[in-house]
Structure 1
Amino acid sequence: MSTMREVAARAGVSVKTVSRVFNDDPHVLPDTRERVQVALRELNYVPNELPSILRAGRAPVIGIAVPDIVDPFFAAITQSIQRLAFEREMFTLVISLGSDAELEQPMVEGLLKRGLSGLVLAPITVDQSYLSVWAMRLPVVFVDRQPARLAADSFTEDDEGGADTATTHLIAHGHRRIAFAGERPLLRTAAGRLAGYRAALARAGLPEDPDLVLVGVDDRAGARDALEVLRRLPDPPTAIFSSNARCTMHLLPALRPREFALVGFGDFPMADVVSPSVTVIDQDPYRLGRLAAERIFDRLDAPDRRYRRRTVVPVHLVERQSCQAGPAVRG
Structure 2
Amino acid sequence: MATMRDVAARAGVSAKTVSRVFNQDPHVSDATRQRVSAALDELNYVPNAIPTTLRNGRAPVIGVAVPDIVDPFFAQLARAAERHAARRGMSVIIASLGSAEREPEVVQAMLRQALTGLIIAPIGDDHGYLRAWVDRIPVIFADRPPVGLTADLFVADDQRGAHLATTHLADHGHTRIAFLGDTLALSTTRDRLAGYRRAIDDAGLALDERLIVLGATDRAGAAGAVATLYRLDDRPTALFCTNARAAVGLVPVLRSRAMAVTTFGDFPLADLLRPSLTVIDQHPDRMGELAAQRISDRLHQPRGRWPRRTVVPVELVERESCRVTTTPGVPVR
Q: Distance in 2 between matches of 1:57 and 1:158?
A: 40
CA contact (8 A) 1:59 1:117 kept: no
CA contact (8 A) 1:59 1:116 kept: no
Give the direction of change, closer, same or farther, for the CA distance of 1:78–1:264 in structure 2 (3 Å limit). Answer: same
CA contact (8 A) 1:128 1:148 kept: yes
CA contact (8 A) 1:258 1:325 kept: no
Aligned to 2:287: 288
Give the direction of change, closer, same or farther, for the CA distance of 1:138–1:308 in structure 2 (3 Å limit). Answer: closer
Deviation at 1:256, TM superposition (A): 3.2
Deviation at 1:60, TM superposition (A): 1.2
Q: Distance in 1 between matches of 2:57 and 2:184?
A: 40
Could you give the per-residue CA deviations for residues 194-237 of structure 1, whole angstroms, max 9, x where no partner exists? Answer: 10000101112222212111111011111111111111101100
Q: Distance in 2 between matches of 1:219 and 1:152?
A: 31
Q: Which residues of structure 2 form unaligned runs of 5+?
A: 1-50, 329-333
Q: Distance in 1 between matches of 2:180 and 2:251?
A: 12
Higher alpha-carbon deviation: 306-315 or 195-204: 306-315
Q: Distance in 1 between matches of 2:59 and 2:101?
A: 27
Could you give the per-residue CA deviations for residues 104-134 of structure 1, whole angstroms, max 9, x where no partner exists? Answer: 1111111111110000000001221211111
Could you give the per-residue CA deviations for residues 166-187 of structure 1, whole angstroms, max 9, x where no partner exists? Answer: 0000000011111111111111
> Within 5 Å, which residues of 2 pair with 1:169-180?
169-180=168-179
Query: Which amino acid letter does the alignment assign opposite residue 187 of structure 1?
Result: L
Q: Distance in 2 between matches of 1:216 and 1:257?
A: 21
Q: Distance in 2 between matches of 1:170 and 1:182?
A: 17
1:300 equivalent in alignment to 2:295: no
CA contact (8 A) 1:57 1:115 kept: no
Query: Which amino acid letter does the alignment assign opposite residue 221 of structure 1?
Result: A
CA contact (8 A) 1:143 1:156 kept: yes
> Within 5 Å, which residues of 2 pair with 1:75-224?
75-98=75-98, 100-224=99-223
CA contact (8 A) 1:258 1:326 kept: no
Aligned to 1:74: 74
Deviation at 1:253, TM superposition (A): 1.0
Aligned to 1:62: 62
Aligned to 1:53: 53
Q: Which residues of structure 1 form unaligned runs of 5+?
A: 1-50
Q: Distance in 1 between matches of 2:297 and 2:285?
A: 18
Aligned to 2:232: 233
Deviation at 1:56, TM superposition (A): 6.7
Q: Distance in 2 between matches of 1:58 and 1:119?
A: 17
CA contact (8 A) 2:121 2:143 kept: yes
CA contact (8 A) 2:141 2:154 kept: yes
Query: Which amino acid letter does the alignment assign opposite residue 221 of structure 2?
Result: G
Deviation at 1:249, TM superposition (A): 0.6
CA contact (8 A) 2:64 2:92 kept: yes
**Matched positions, count:** 278
Deviation at 1:89, TM superposition (A): 0.8
CA contact (8 A) 1:59 1:115 kept: no
Aligned to 1:28: none
Name the SS of the counterpart of 2:261 in structure 1. strand
Aligned to 1:312: 311
Q: Distance in 1 between matches of 2:325 and 2:78?
A: 35
Q: Distance in 2 between matches of 1:246 and 1:269?
A: 11
Q: Give % identity.
A: 54
Aligned to 2:33: none
CA contact (8 A) 1:218 1:246 kept: yes
Q: Distance in 1 between matches of 2:325 and 2:182?
A: 23
CA contact (8 A) 2:52 2:114 kept: no
CA contact (8 A) 1:145 1:189 kept: yes
Q: TM-score, normalised by structure 2?
A: 0.80
Q: TM-score, normalised by structure 1?
A: 0.81
Deviation at 1:52, TM superposition (A): 6.7
Query: Which amino acid letter does the alignment assign opposite residue 71 of structure 1?
Result: D
Deviation at 1:101, TM superposition (A): 1.1
